[in-house]
Amino acid sequence: MPAGTLGGRFLFTMGRVYQRHQADPREVKTQTGPIESVDRRSFVRGVGVLTGVIALGSPLAALLPARAWSVELRTLSAPQAAALLAMIRTIAPHDTLDDAAYALVVSAIDGDAVGSTEARADLSSGIASLGEGFASQPEDARTERLKQIESGAFFQSVRVKTLMVLYSNPIAWAHFGYEGEAFSKGGYLLRGFNDLKWLPEVPSADSGPMPVG
């Protein structure tokens, strides 16, 4: 796999469940250098910038103003962020989910470390424990490395942050077809809750009254 490419097959490492996924035909590379759409001031303020490009035809394209995306880093360097992103993709493997969604987890972890010298040191040492060139290593090597450290505090903290952030943002929702919470939109009942096209219609006499005024 070419250096910097974070597509391909990944194994799901949560607890001790490992499930193989098919290779993703995309070849979207995570870039570690600046791109023209990124404001120059971000390179002055931040330690690094994690950048990438949304795949053509991705449902995320409708949510983002451009195919190119960037995440400014306040603690991590760009190579550290790329390694962390590869780790997050290996923990939660969705081959057709763009790196942009995983980058939000990187940003959250990076932000958590800003206010504490100890947290920054722990994060840096944790990423270093992944080994040199982790992001570009073969799938089996990455998986074996994570299996070796999955009981440690670093792996577990990244796993929990991944579950909290990855599956609670609109970018991932768009990919999985989830429309988000319904309370602010009047609830689910009148917004397609009973739109089951694969079941026969229930006779009105058997369906009962609608529980709304």
**What does the domain layout of the chain look like in residue ranges?**
41-186
Q: Rounded distance, CA 135 to CA 137, Å? A: 6
Q: Which residues contact 172 (CB under 8 A, 6 or more apart)?
A: 97, 101, 166
pLDDT tens-place string over residues 37-75:
333 333 334 568 999 888 777 766 766 677 788 899 999
How confident is the model over 71-87, as pLDDT tens digits? 999 999 999 999 999 99
Q: 68: which strand partners? A: 53
Mean pLDDT comparison of 2-6, 39-43, 133-137, 186-190, highest-scoring range? 133-137
Using a cut of 0.85, tell me whether the model's pTM lies above it: no
Buried b (16+ CB within 10 A) or exposed e, 100-138: bbbbbbbbebbeebeeeeeebeebeebbeebeeebbbbe
Distance CA 85, CA 8 (A): 14
Grouping H, G, I as helix, E, B as strand and the rest as coil, residue 29 is strand
